[in-house]
Every structure is written in C-alpha cells, then in structure tokens.
Amino acid sequence: MKKIRAFILLVLIPILLLAVWFAGSLFFNKAESFTTLTYRSNDVSFTSFPNEGILRNGEKITGSFNAHEKHLGTVTLLLNESIRQDDDYYLQLKIRKSTSNKWLYEIKDRSRSFKEMGHYTFGFPILNNNKEEKIVFEITAEKIAPYNLIKVSKKNLLLNTKYKFNKAEIVQSPLRFLSFVYTKISLFITNPEMLIATNHFFIGFALYMIGVLYITKRLTNFANVTLALIALDIILVRTQIGVINVSLFLLLIASVIQNKKKSAWSLQVAFALFILSAVFSIFGQYTYIDKASTWVYLFLIVFTVQKVRELRFAKKL
C-alpha cells in the first residue's frame, strides 16, 4: 500500500503535472497554434549581403534556404538596430521558389508596425512548397534615417520559419499524428522562447515538487522552501505581482526568524541573485532582471537588519 502511495505521489502525479505542462504548451499556447511548427535554426546561403553587415537604403540581401516542412507561412528576421521609435523605415521581403523566377509574395511594411523585440515577422499566405524545397528570398530596406544603423548578421538573420498544417493532414493517420506531436515536442523543448512563453503551465508541477520535497523532509529547512518559492517567482511569474511579492517577503522574514538564519545567508542569496541578474543582462533577458534584482534588494534589506543586530554597535561616532 505504501509503495502504491509513493508511486502515486512521487511518480504518477508529477508525470501528470508534466503532461499538463506539455499539453497546455502544445494546445493552449497563445504564441503558437497546435498546427504550426516553428524551426529556429536555418541554414541560409547568401548570394548578396551588405558590406560589414550594415543595411543601407535600397541595398538588397538575397539568399536561399531549404524549407524544413511543407506549407511555409511565416519568416522572422532578426535585425540589430540603433534606432529610435519615431525613426520608422520600410522593410520589404520577397519570396519565391527556386524553380521559378516569379516572386510569389512581396510584403512591405513600416518597421514599427510589425516589430517585436528586434524581430520582424513576415506572414504571408501559405506557400505550396515541398519539404526540403529551396526557397529564395530578398530583403530591402527603404527610408532609413542617415544616423540610424541597422546591422545584420549572416548567422542569425533568418531566425524562425513557421509551417502551418491543416488539421485534416495531421490526423489522417495515428502514425502521422504521433509523428507530428513528436516533432512538435522536440521543437518546443529546444526553443527557449517557446519555453519562456509557456512557463506558466509549469507552475503546478514546480509547486507540487516543492511541497513533496518539504513533506518528505528532503527540503529540511523552511528557509530553503521560501528560497525555492522565490526562485519560482523569478523564473515563472513574468510580471511583478504585489500580493505574491509581499507574501514571499513576509515568508522570508518568518523563515529567517524560525530557522535563525545569519546575515551571511541572506547576503549569499542576494549575491547569487545579483550574479543571476548579471547573467540575464549579458544574454539580454531583461524581464528576468526586474524580478531577480527586486529580490537582490529585498535580501539586502534582510541582511542589513540582521547585520546591524549582529554587530551590536556600542561606541558612538
């Protein structure tokens, strides 16, 4: 009986919660519908590329890549710009199959209207291409202000390609369905942006595991449970939520008092979180810095109070 209970608590429920994470991420993902496959890496061979990677007015970037799947519908470009919001310019993408000289789609838009975090996503009616078929593209920018700099890199220019399938095609046979789900999951777990976009489905699993670890006395320390919850707050809760923040801070104070933690502990955590913020900054993950640095500050408050009490100043200045 004990074994069955342990199996349910330690294996079955965690697997179910992980399944919730996967299912939620695959079927209820606002960033991407279930029938879409997103490929990150794209081997592009360029036929023309600007000098020093600086994109100038009217200059063209041309190249080709092999489609990973059928039904290409979106390409995302990554541009590194030193640009101000009001200095808009036009960006044009043309796309065709290598077998024909006729451009199938020409999409032109003001840069600001479809920019998101330096990514430019061009959507177009689904291409009737074959898997591995060579696709040719041409990128042109216009009306770039003279003091703006738009840099492009051969390595990361074509960031994402998306392929949109229709439902009937996916469910035509169980094998096809499983194969699609397998591809979807493998693409999902290797795509950090997608993992970040769906991390709220992971909260249930994480909270459950903390609870289990505490009950089974693997997390022996109340303060460590608080730490784990704070880590979850930083990684999984993307916005600052006052109630969560206050609750965790009060929990932190309570756990410091209960576990008689010294100031060194608070300082170590603050320092670790600061290093984490530094790492986030190097990798451009600015949303995480907000949360991590908030906790650096709150831990420093706790440290200061602890330290002042520990030092027991007697002599006046």
The burial class, CB within 10 Å (0-12 / 13-18 / 19+), for 256 is: buried
CB of 138 or CB of 290, closer to other proteins:
290
CB of 7 or CB of 297, closer to other proteins:
297
CB of 121 or CB of 281, closer to other proteins:
281
CB of 4 or CB of 282, closer to other proteins:
282
For binding to other proteins (CB under 8 A), which residues are involved?
82, 84-86, 145-147, 240, 242, 245-246, 249, 264, 267, 270-271, 274, 277-278, 281-282, 286, 289-290, 292-298, 300-301, 303-305, 307-311, 313-317
For the CB of residue 105, give the shortest distance to other proteins in the complex, in Å.
32
SS3 sequence of the chain: CHHHHHHHHHHHHHHHHHHHHHHHHHHCCCCCCCCEEEECCCCEEEEECCHHHECCCCCEEEEEEECCCCCEEEEEEECEEECCCCCCCEEEEEEEECCCCCCCEEEEEEHHHHEECCEEEEECCCCCCCCCCEEEEEEEEECCCCCCEEECCCCCCEEEEEEECCHHHHCCCHHHHHHHHHHHHHHHHCCHHHHHHCHHHHHHHHHHHHHHHHHCCCCCCHHHHHHHHHHHHHHHCCCCCHHHHHHHHHHHHHHHHHCCCCHHHHHHHHHHHHHHHHHHHHCCCHHHHHHHHHHHHHHHHHHHHHHHHHHCCCCCC
CB of 260 or CB of 316, closer to other proteins:
316
For the CB of residue 230, give the shortest distance to other proteins in the complex, in Å.
11
CB of 182 or CB of 283, closer to other proteins:
283
Phi, psi at 141, each rounded to 5°: -115, 145
For the CB of residue 92, give the shortest distance to other proteins in the complex, in Å.
23
For the CB of residue 6, give the shortest distance to other proteins in the complex, in Å.
38
For the CB of residue 30, give the shortest distance to other proteins in the complex, in Å.
23
For the CB of residue 118, give the shortest distance to other proteins in the complex, in Å.
11
For the CB of residue 274, give the shortest distance to other proteins in the complex, in Å.
6
Give the C-alpha separation, 46 to 65, whole Å.
Answer: 9
For the CB of residue 18, give the shortest distance to other proteins in the complex, in Å.
30
CB of 238 or CB of 307, closer to other proteins:
307
Among the listed residues 32, 118, 44, 19, the one whose alpha carbon sits nearest the alpha carbon of residue 74: 32
